[in-house]
Chains A and B, each alone.
Chain A
Amino acid sequence: MAQIELSAIRKSFDGTDVLKGIDFRVEDGEFISLVGPSGCGKSTLLRIIAGLEPQNSGQVHIDGRHVDGIRPSARNLAMVFQSYALYPHLSTFDNIAVPLRMRRLSAVERLPLLGALLPSRRAKERHIRADVAGIAEQLDITPLLRRKPGQLSGGQRQRVAVGRAMVREPLAFLFDEPLSNLDAKLRVHMRAELAELHRRLKATFVYVTHDQAEAMTMSSRIAVMMGGELIQAGTPAEIYNDPGDIRVAEFIGSPKINILPGRIRKDGGVDVLGTALKLSCSAAAGDCRVGVRPERIDLGAGPFSGTVVHLENLGAEAFVHLAIEGAGLRLIARLADVRHLPAMASSVAFGFAPDAVRVFDPAGKRIELRVEQAERIREPAHV
Chain B
Amino acid sequence: MSDGSITIGAAIVPAGATRRAVPAHGSRRAYSAYALVTPAAALMLIMLLGPLAGVIALSFTDYQLGAPHFSWIGLANYRDLFADKVFWTALRNTLAYVVIVVPGAVIAGLAIALLIQSGTSLRSLYRTIYFLPVMATLIAMAVVWEFMLHPQFGLVNGMLRGAGLPAFAWLQDRSTALYALCAIGIWQAVGFNMVLFLAGLVSIPKQLYEAAEIDGASSGWARFRLVTWPMLGPVTTFVVVISGIRSFQVFDTVHVLAKGGPSKSTEVLIHTMYTEGFEFFRSGYAAAITVVFLVFVLALTLIKSRLADRGVHYT
A and B: real partners?
yes
Chain A residues in the interface with B (C-beta under 8 A): 50, 52, 71-74, 77-79, 81-83, 85-90, 98-99, 102-103, 107, 110, 148, 150, 164, 168
**Nearest Cβ in chain B — how far from A160, in angstroms?**
12
- B210 cross-chain contacts in A, Cβ below 8 A: 50, 52, 72, 79, 81, 85
- A74 cross-chain contacts in B, Cβ below 8 A: 218
Chain B residues in the interface with A (C-beta under 8 A): 205, 207-208, 210-219, 221-222, 225-227, 230-231, 233, 314-315
- A98 cross-chain contacts in B, Cβ below 8 A: 212, 215-216, 226
A86 vs B222: C-alpha distance when bound (angstroms): 16
Cβ-defined contact, B315 with A150, below 8 A: yes
- B227 cross-chain contacts in A, Cβ below 8 A: 87
The binding surface of chain B is classed by DSSP as helix
**Nearest Cβ in chain A — how far from B203, in angstroms?**
12
A168 vs B213: C-alpha distance when bound (angstroms): 14
**Nearest Cβ in chain B — how far from A57, in angstroms?**
23
Cβ-defined contact, A102 with B205, below 8 A: no
A107 vs B216: C-alpha distance when bound (angstroms): 12
Cβ-defined contact, B230 with A102, below 8 A: no
- B214 cross-chain contacts in A, Cβ below 8 A: 50, 52, 72-73, 77-79
- B212 cross-chain contacts in A, Cβ below 8 A: 87, 98
A-B contact pairs, 17 of them (CB 8 A): A50-B210, A50-B214, A52-B210, A73-B218, A77-B214, A79-B211, A85-B205, A88-B231, A98-B215, A98-B216, A98-B226, A102-B226, A107-B221, A107-B222, A110-B222, A148-B314, A164-B215
Cβ-defined contact, B211 with A89, below 8 A: no
5 closest A-B pairs by CB: A102-B216, A85-B211, A150-B315, A85-B207, A73-B218
Cβ-defined contact, A87 with B213, below 8 A: no
Cβ-defined contact, A73 with B215, below 8 A: yes
B222 to A, closest residue via Cβ = A102
A148 vs B208: C-alpha distance when bound (angstroms): 15
- A102 cross-chain contacts in B, Cβ below 8 A: 215-217, 222, 226
A103 to B, closest residue via Cβ = B216
A79 vs B215: C-alpha distance when bound (angstroms): 9
**Nearest Cβ in chain B — how far from A107, in angstroms?**
7
A340 vs B215: C-alpha distance when bound (angstroms): 57
- B215 cross-chain contacts in A, Cβ below 8 A: 73, 98-99, 102, 164
- B231 cross-chain contacts in A, Cβ below 8 A: 88-89
A244 vs B99: C-alpha distance when bound (angstroms): 72
Cβ-defined contact, A89 with B213, below 8 A: no
Given contacts A73-B218, A150-B314, contact A81 B207 (CB under 8 A): yes
A231 vs B218: C-alpha distance when bound (angstroms): 35
- B226 cross-chain contacts in A, Cβ below 8 A: 87, 98, 102
A50 vs B212: C-alpha distance when bound (angstroms): 13
